[in-house]
Amino acid sequence: MKKGRRLLAWLLLILLCGSGATGQSSKRENRWYFGTNAGLDFSNGTATPLTDGALRTLEGTATMCDENGELLFYTDGSSIWNKAHEPMPDATGLGGNTSTSQAAVIIPQPEHPDRYFVFSVAAKGGPGGLQYAVVDMNMNEGLGGIVSKNHVLLARVSEKLTALRHCNNTDFWVIAHETGNNSFRSFQVTREGVNEKSVESITGSIHQEGLYAIGYMKASQDGRTIALARFDDSAFEIFRFDSESGLLSEPVYLKHPDFENAYGLEFSPDSKYLYLSAGREPPRIFRVSLPNSYSLATIIGSKVILGSIPGSFPGAMQLGPDGKIYVAAEGQGHLGVINHPMQKAEDVGFSPSGIDLGGRKSQRGLPNFMISRFNPGACMARPLAPDIFTPNNDGINDTFHVSVADGIMIRLDIYNKWGNLLYRDLGNNPHWDGKFNGADCPNDAYTYILKFKTSENERIQEYRGSVIIAR
């Protein structure tokens, strides 16, 4: 009965939200403004050029529409323009820069339909860091206004900034990366506002200032993967993401001679493929597959070259409401388009000049959007396991028992500190008695790897933990 109610709720949300091709839950991405007065309108289901934009920027932008797809405002991370394409009063000096890869991202405050947070990052890891401003659409006769600005969250960050829905389907995560270390910071946005106490993930490579700070970071549509570009390292990195805790883990470092000047990237709507822009003379568009195992050899081995955009810098890539991926072409009067990103590589239909911009010009950037997909079951399934057990035959806590709340267990493996497999269970109710080949294992810490899936989702998830034997 419980599972049936969830399925009914999921089906109702599909009917209410639509946009099944891309997984987006609203029409907030209907209008794009970017480059040199360029724009796109997806209101009728296909992209048509907009020529009314006031924005002129080299790189990152962000645009926000209401839930009906009507334009509210847009930004280059430094200033904001309202829906009349006029500067929003006092909306200047917001901390971003016209030469920042992902200069801004806009998040609606949950349960406050007229209030928005505009997050921005400085260029090349410079002063200003990560900060946000608060916009209220009730101000200035519905054109919006600044409530407050320059709320600094981090002093020094790279040019990477992404946001996605929390698995509770109400809150959001805003994710940035500090410079000088390998620390990601995830900030939760709730109905109360921005929680300025971040969740820290120390993982992956160290990000430095300058050219090393350049490049995009994106979240997959299913909210389980984060990927980023390392411009001056000629590499990309991929991470697992936990949309409940805000933690990133399991880094995979993709370095290849073809990835010189790595810059843009985007996931396919089904989150099975990652598209990349990199290279010089000319920059090229690549695709890699994302298996559940996240094997480096498998991912690199799946690399396919789709084509190039002659005479252009490697540009941003952005999934559109129509399910196509758009590719920025610096200084050109058009965008590249990957028409069928979920198909086999030979059938994706990459066009270097897929859509004309009506006399306006693309630059390196495209709008940065939050990932707002409804993700059923993501917060429901979770491993439940103790940190310690005492297998001394007293009838109390004698076995190590793991279960998955609202999920299905697939396999449990337990290893000692030398990496030797001590125990494996393929059932749904494992109990380890702390023995190997009939002999007691010594008091120590042991690593376990649990594979499971949620009741409504067939995609396999993996959880790693440790348990202590204390007899």
Q: Per the structure block, which two tokens stand in for 303?
A: 């690399």
pLDDT given at position 380? 62
pLDDT given at position 5? 42
φ, ψ of residue 86 to 5 degrees: the values are -115, 150
Strand order in the sheet with 388-389: 388-389, 461-469, 445-454, 407-415, 421-425
**Listed residue (240, 290, 233) closest to 262, CA to CA:** 233
Q: Which fold has domain 382-469?
A: Immunoglobulin-like (2.60.40)
**Locus of tokens 């009838």:** 395
pLDDT given at position 274? 97
**Listed residue (371, 372, 336) closest to 355, CA to CA:** 336
Stronger pLDDT, 30 or 311, i.e. the higher one? 30
Contact 221, 203 (CB under 8 A): no
pLDDT given at position 280? 77
C-alpha to C-alpha distance for 15 and 24, rounded to whole angstroms = 12
φ, ψ of residue 364 to 5 degrees: the values are -80, -25
Confidence of residue 459 (pLDDT cuts 50, 70, 90): low
pLDDT given at position 286? 97
Task: Compute how many other C-beta atoms are within 10 angstroms of the C-beta atom of residue 399.
Answer: 13
Lowest-confidence region among 10-14, 67-71, 312-316: 10-14
**Locus of tokens 């709320």:** 151
pLDDT in tens, 285-299: 999 999 877 788 899
Integer angstrom CA distances of residue 416 from 198, 385, 398, 436: 33, 17, 18, 10
When pLDDT is averaged across residues 16-42 and rounded to a whole number, the result is 74
Q: If residue 464 lies in a helix (H) or strand (E), which one and from where to where?
A: strand 461-469
- Mean residue pLDDT across the chain: 90
C-alpha to C-alpha distance for 466 and 97, rounded to whole angstroms = 44
Stronger pLDDT, 379 or 38, i.e. the higher one? 38
pLDDT given at position 295? 82
Integer angstrom CA distances of residue 388 from 4, 215, 401, 418, 432: 36, 43, 10, 19, 12
pLDDT given at position 309? 86
Contact 222, 241 (CB under 8 A): no
C-alpha to C-alpha distance for 466 and 447, rounded to whole angstroms = 4
Contact 64, 73 (CB under 8 A): yes
Check residue 236 and report its DSSP letter.
E
Q: Which long-range contacts (CB under 8 A, 24 or more apart) does 382-386 make?
A: 382/244, 382/406, 382/407, 383/450, 383/452, 383/463, 383/465, 385/448, 385/450, 385/465, 385/467, 386/467
Half-sphere exposure of residue 197: CA atoms within 13 angstroms, side-chain side: 0
Distant-in-sequence, close-in-space partners of 23: CB < 8 Å, separation ≥ 6: 221, 222, 269, 373
C-alpha to C-alpha distance for 6 and 14, rounded to whole angstroms = 12
pLDDT in tens, 326-355: 999 999 999 999 999 999 999 999 999 999
Class of residue 41 by CB neighbours under 10 A (exposed 0-12, middle 13-18, buried 19+): middle
When pLDDT is averaged across residues 453-460 and rounded to a whole number, the result is 65
Fold: same for 2-356 and 382-469: no
Confidence of residue 455 (pLDDT cuts 50, 70, 90): low
Q: Per the structure block, which two tokens stand in for 388?
A: 């310690």
When pLDDT is averaged across residues 196-214 and rounded to a whole number, the result is 95
For 54-119, give the DSSP string: --B-SS-BEEEE-TTS-EEEEE-SS-EEETTSSBPTT----S--TT-TT-EEEEEPTT-TTEEEEE
Of all residues in the chain, the percent with pLDDT exceeding 90 is 76
Lowest-confidence region among 14-18, 124-128, 169-173, 353-357: 14-18
* Sign of the torsion angle spanned by Cα atoms 322, 45, 217, 199: negative
pLDDT given at position 281? 74
Half-sphere exposure of residue 126: CA atoms within 13 angstroms, side-chain side: 12
Contact 408, 415 (CB under 8 A): no
Residue 310 predicted with pLDDT over 90: no
When pLDDT is averaged across residues 209-233 and rounded to a whole number, the result is 93
When pLDDT is averaged across residues 388-398 and rounded to a whole number, the result is 93
Confidence of residue 156 (pLDDT cuts 50, 70, 90): very high
Residue 214 predicted with pLDDT over 60: yes
Q: Which fold has domain 2-356?
A: Methylamine Dehydrogenase; Chain H (2.130.10)
pLDDT in tens, 358-391: 999 999 999 999 987 645 445 666 788 898 999 9
The full set of domain ranges for the chain reads 2-356, 382-469
pLDDT given at position 105? 98
Global confidence as pTM: 0.79
Confidence of residue 457 (pLDDT cuts 50, 70, 90): low
pLDDT given at position 26? 65
